[in-house]
């Protein structure tokens, strides 16, 4: 009887201590379904780490771990998670994302190991121009954009620039006579498709957040441009400065009128930790601050929740990830109307991020709407050059 009990205990221990599945290192091609078709993207797995791959971007998942027999990949900043069973060279599971209203949205997730193509390999039957004037139509209104693309054989990378920011790193293919591009970065699940007919892009569909869609079209235009990003948000008549006081992560109120910001060039960054364009700008500003320590920067975060227990870890994660040394204050909800109400001296906030540059006398000298991140190539380089030159000019003023 005693031997039987020992045998049963050993068998129980054997089955309760199953080893975690083996996760092959290398490139995985993943898919999630959307209302407009399958959205493919890539995940690079390295030892105990994973990255979302979009064109030239390699964006780290915050965590990779197994729980029971399921793999968990999380992007904490964007409240996004992949949960999947790993079986050899395949994965099957779900992609889950917490939306702006804190509701969860889910979609099926599958992945296969070793597939490098986005949509499919092969030669293209059509060629893209480098630049297009684009019109997006959400069914209620239209807005302009600039499409910039780089094609090699049937592979394409590029982005769309809009007045509120760019659509970051897009990656895809020309398949037959169709352009197909995607981006998966934890927050964005973007799928763009259109027909290439001569100098035109026609019948375009833009699918976002798995279920939302817009129509779009484009025409080749080497001179395509957007309105001046420094003219869209401005001070109302009678104002020359801004004023605010919001709490930091300890609850301490910080004001633009504090002694620390007097006689200093100060940059006010209006952002959200949930916003990939804001992430790109935060990376830039954190580095800029290190190179220009005399310039002050304050972040005003507009978040999905005002509960400190929910939002403070996200702000801290953003600061840690990019080495932010300036304060980021909890200013309000992730709503442009709320941001406009909190800064009533401005005509309106139309984009996260928006950046306000203040001179040593406390006078607002420039307000920049949106951010052209590194995925925009020459546009990003131009922004960095002009931003740096303008701030250096203000630094030299007495």
Listed as ranges, residues in the chain with pLDDT below 50 are 1-17
Bridge partners of 39? 32
The 8-class DSSP code of residue 398 comes to -
Given 3.90.230.10, 2.102.10.10, 3.40.50.970, 2.40.160.90, which CATH number is that of 20-113? 2.40.160.90
Per CATH, domain 131-220 is 2.40.128.120: yes
pLDDT, position 234: 98
3-state secondary structure of 142: strand
For 245-396, CATH number? 3.40.30.10
CA distance 120 to 40: 10
pLDDT, position 11: 38
Tell me the two tokens of residue 294.
């005399």
CA distance 320 to 55: 25
pLDDT, position 19: 63
Bridge partners of 213? 207
pLDDT, position 169: 98
Query: What residues does each domain of the chain span?
Result: 20-113, 131-220, 245-396
- Vertex 254 angle, CA 301 and 262, to 5°: 115
Provide the residue count of the chain. 398
Percentage helix, strand, coil, to 5, in the chain? 20, 45, 35
The pTM (predicted TM-score) of the whole model is 0.91
């Amino acid at each position: 009887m005693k031997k039987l009990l020992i045998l049963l205990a050993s068998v129980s221990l054997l089955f309760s201590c199953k080893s975690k599945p083996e996760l092959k290192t290398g490139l995985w091609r993943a898919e999630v379904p959307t209302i407009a078709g399958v959205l493919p993207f890539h995940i690079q797995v390295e030892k105990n780490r994973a990255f979302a791959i979009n064109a030239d971007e390699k964006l780290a998942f915050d965590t990779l771990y197994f729980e029971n027999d399921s793999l968990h990949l999380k992007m904490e900043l964007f409240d996004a998670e992949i949960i999947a069973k790993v079986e050899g060279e395949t994965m099957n599971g779900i992609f889950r994302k917490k939306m702006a209203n804190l509701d969860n949205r889910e979609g099926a997730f599958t992945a296969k190991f070793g597939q490098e193509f986005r949509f499919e390999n092969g030669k293209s039957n059509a060629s893209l121009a480098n630049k297009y004037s684009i019109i997006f139509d959400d069914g209620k209104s239209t807005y302009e954009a600039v499409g910039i693309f780089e094609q090699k054989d049937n592979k394409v990378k590029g982005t769309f620039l809009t007045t509120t920011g760019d659509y970051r790193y897009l990656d895809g293919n020309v398949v037959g006579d169709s352009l197909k591009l995607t981006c998966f970065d934890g927050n964005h699940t973007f799928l763009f498709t259109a027909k290439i007919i001569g100098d035109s892009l026609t019948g375009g569909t833009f699918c976002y957040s798995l279920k939302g869609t817009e129509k779009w079209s484009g025409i080749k235009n080497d001179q395509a441009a957007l309105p001046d990003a420094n003219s869209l948000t401005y001070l109302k008549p009678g104002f020359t400065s801004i004023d605010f006081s919001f709490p930091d992560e300890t609850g301490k109120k910080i004001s633009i009128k504090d002694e620390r910001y007097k006689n200093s060039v100060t940059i006010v960054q209006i952002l959200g930790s949930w916003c990939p364009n804001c992430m790109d700008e935060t990376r830039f500003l954190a580095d800029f601050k290190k190179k220009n320590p005399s310039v002050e920067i304050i972040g005003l975060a507009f978040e999905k929740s005002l509960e400190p227990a929910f939002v403070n870890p996200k702000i801290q994660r953003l600061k840690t990830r990019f080495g932010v040394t300036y304060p980021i204050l909890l200013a309000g909800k992730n709503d442009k109307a709320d941001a406009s109400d909190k800064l009533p001296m401005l005509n309106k906030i139309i984009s996260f991020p928006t950046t306000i540059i203040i001179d040593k006398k406390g006078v607002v000298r420039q307000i920049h709407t949106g951010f052209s991140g590194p995925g925009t190539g020459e546009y990003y380089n131009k922004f960095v050059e002009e931003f740096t030159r303008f701030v250096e000019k203000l630094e030299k003023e007495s």
